[in-house]
Chain A
């Protein structure tokens, strides 16, 4: 396919910046994810020309434009299938998919089960701010039911209120537990990180890329403008227990269900499952190759 020149000099962060200044609000959690993403690429010694980032729509969706890698900014909720098509067509690329929580769990929620089931080798980073940022503060599937009270209580320092009516009526719904969902879907790599703890985040992204299969990473990424949860996460974020064995899916589920704790780390990983591209290649290898001539001959009388 396409040949790439070997890189000689080690990459620096500035080599990875596209030159387009992020449009994110100052202090937005998404900056932390972008930095960790750069650092992970450097640490993994990836060739930026062989990296592709596919995103959906939202503040989070703007991500690819800021990085000097191949990017695809698609439609709302479809980062996963777009990335899946790209990865199976071009297994030589390192493919990331990026979504916000609305993009991932609401409009695009139907795709996660299938990416997990297929175990396509992409690293899926959900930049979860528990609110719709771009559209100015509606509740999302991960918003706590009492999101309006929290906003008004002053605990979410500096936040604007967002759309009060929608945030208020959100109390009639329950929030989704994305980690539990990903575990139930049997994603082969399930992790959580906090954009306020960049070292762990970088390490988790690296592990996600190294993992040959579908890596689901929920990154708590506060929206300072509409739901500033930095203080909340600084208080509740704790590393997973040291004795947690990431091959233990039941324990991972139990940990994901623990109330009042935001565990960060790798909940689950299964390195034994081949990826979709590997399986497709294996499938192809078992077939006898054919040609147009041979196919047409079959229809000739």
Chain B
């Protein structure tokens, strides 16, 4: 017997290689044909502090980070103390007997392993991490040859280090073989055939790769956790693709550099987190006003001000949707998985180019930093939208109108260098030619033109694949949400289905404009909707309640908010508990605490 999935958590001091252990183990599993899904926390300290790396490893697609921990590896005392409570009954604690004194009792197994001592025996103290990896490889029944291969891959060109590293790996592996019995409940056997073709990457890498596949050739950014991983990846690859990357002096410079590059005809982006996005808002309005395509990625983190840079949140929704001086139309996208991050980046650039508008893509700390196995990417299926440019064969000086009022709102955009088409991209209100104008009728016509592009988009969006809908269409309970909560929701729904509770979910990857064409039919027949979100105010729930109020009131649909604001992602169990509660209320006829019409009346 082998498990369908296992959750392993490693806790210890940062800088001790906890993350290395996790990342290596995850890649051994993934490259053996298993599916992975990771979650990690970062310490606030630069050096030291506690880190936690959790990996869920499965034979089938792993939907979320899971609830309880099957195997806890404690590299130091705090790593034990902080996480022992999450070890499931009957789980396994593996601890470094040179560093940890485990608590008495507990309904779990304990393996004391002298990892530090073993490292000393082979005269390679820094090999402790690989000893742990070797030990876990044997414990979990993973193939040793894959582990060796991964060590080789990680060392790359530093071949002289290979013998000592392999020795450490083997040391841990044989220690387990010789001192501990095989226990199937902690094993996860890779499929015989090596599994289906998969890519193994983080959300940040998916974003960066999506940008490159979309044709992005300019990036400017200012370092900020957790967005910096995107910039670091692109710094290596963008120049190799013929593009340019600049580390700007601040976020305002970063975004205006990207606008400058895009004005020049090159697809451009920046990535940041909430505090940086706040600084970019004036320039977002500029891109909207001058109608320059622009992509901004916001990897959300927790808390206002500097908050908790290494923790996750979905609290920038209002900032992305509404921030700015007066009215600046924009698009807001939100991928709901690592895999989707790749595809939504392509949509982001395509929307930006097609509609000559800024696009904000919302990711978050948990999704940007986690590793996931994703399905292969077929590059031949990727469409790159071309900017609408004026035709070159007009006679020179023949009154090119950059901001021509067109039916769909989109006006052909000349690229500097095109003869006879010079214009000024004007941040002041302007007429069709781009000349500044404060005439009331002009401001009215141009405001309508800029918003008309959103209406045009609304008509086209059903073709862009921007909604993820699954579950039972007959269900009376619905889950409506966005972003990275998708993983926990999916798993919670599978559990609910096993209990006979029918649920249907809809995740929208576009938040501005809202995909009414999907949400309206979805809401029909529903009696309760649960809106799980990682923020306090229930921002998305508010958007839903407001936009679909008529339908919600008419059909007497109860809206249940489920808000978590701890800096941590949802666990499937938390969503599941809410589903059960709502199901019980529906059968018992107990209604939601708060009704939308009451709420509206009390505003």
Residue on A nearest B259 in the bound complex, by CB: A82
Residue on B nearest A288 in the bound complex, by CB: B240
Judge whether A92 is part of the interface by a CB distance below 8 angstroms.
yes
Would A85 and B249 count as touching, CB distance under 8 A? no
Q: In whole Å, how far is A178's beta carbon from the nearest beta carbon of chain B?
A: 18
Q: In whole Å, how far is A279's beta carbon from the nearest beta carbon of chain B?
A: 11
What is the number of residues of chain B that contact chain A, defined by CB distance less than 8 Å? Answer: 69
Stretch among B3-11, B193-201, B517-525 lining the A interface: B193-201
Would B422 and A70 count as touching, CB distance under 8 A? yes
Contact with B along A1-43 (1 / 0, CB 8 A): 1111100000000000010100000000000000000000000
Would B379 and A292 count as touching, CB distance under 8 A? yes
Q: In whole Å, how far is B210's beta carbon from the nearest beta carbon of chain A?
A: 10
Would B379 and A293 count as touching, CB distance under 8 A? yes
On chain A, the residues within 8 Å of B252 by CB distance are 78, 81
A233 to B314, CA, bound (A): 57
On chain B, the residues within 8 Å of A57 by CB distance are 427
Judge whether A65 is part of the interface by a CB distance below 8 angstroms.
yes
Most buried by A among B285, B415, B422, B425: B422
Q: In whole Å, how far is A293's beta carbon from the nearest beta carbon of chain B?
A: 7
Chain A interface size, under 10 / 10 to 19 / 20 to 34 / 35 or more = 35 or more
On chain B, the residues within 8 Å of A84 by CB distance are 246, 253, 257, 260
A284 to B239, CA, bound (A): 5
CB neighbors of B among A148-206 (8 A): none
A299 to B218, CA, bound (A): 23
Would B209 and A295 count as touching, CB distance under 8 A? yes
Judge whether B323 is part of the interface by a CB distance below 8 angstroms.
no
On chain A, the residues within 8 Å of B416 by CB distance are 2, 49-50, 52, 70, 86, 90, 93
Contact with B along A130-155 (1 / 0, CB 8 A): 00000000000000000000000000
Would A93 and B264 count as touching, CB distance under 8 A? yes
Residue on A nearest B376 in the bound complex, by CB: A300
Would B200 and A48 count as touching, CB distance under 8 A? no
Would B237 and A82 count as touching, CB distance under 8 A? no
A81 in complex: contacting residue of B33, B218, B240, B260, CB < 8 Å: B260
Would A301 and B31 count as touching, CB distance under 8 A? yes
Q: In whole Å, how far is A41's beta carbon from the nearest beta carbon of chain B?
A: 12
Judge whether B286 is part of the interface by a CB distance below 8 angstroms.
yes
On chain A, the residues within 8 Å of B286 by CB distance are 74-75
Would B30 and A49 count as touching, CB distance under 8 A? no
Would A65 and B436 count as touching, CB distance under 8 A? yes
B260 in complex: contacting residue of A3, A50, A73, A86, CB < 8 Å: A86
Judge whether B544 is part of the interface by a CB distance below 8 angstroms.
no
Judge whether A241 is part of the interface by a CB distance below 8 angstroms.
no
Would B426 and A65 count as touching, CB distance under 8 A? yes
Q: Show 21 A/B contacts (Cβ-Cβ < 8 Å), sorted by A.
A: A18-B424, A49-B416, A73-B426, A73-B427, A75-B283, A82-B256, A85-B218, A85-B262, A88-B246, A88-B257, A89-B266, A111-B249, A114-B249, A284-B240, A288-B240, A289-B240, A295-B209, A299-B201, A299-B209, A301-B33, A301-B199
Sample of 11 more A-B contacts, CB < 8 Å, known A78-B253, A81-B257: A65-B424, A65-B426, A73-B426, A84-B253, A85-B257, A88-B244, A89-B244, A89-B260, A296-B379, A300-B197, A301-B197
Name B residues whose Cβ lies closer than 8 Å to a Cβ of A. 30-31, 33, 195, 197-201, 205, 209, 212-213, 217-218, 220, 237, 239-242, 244, 246, 248-250, 252-254, 256-266, 268, 282-283, 285-286, 290, 373, 376-377, 379, 396, 414-428, 434-436
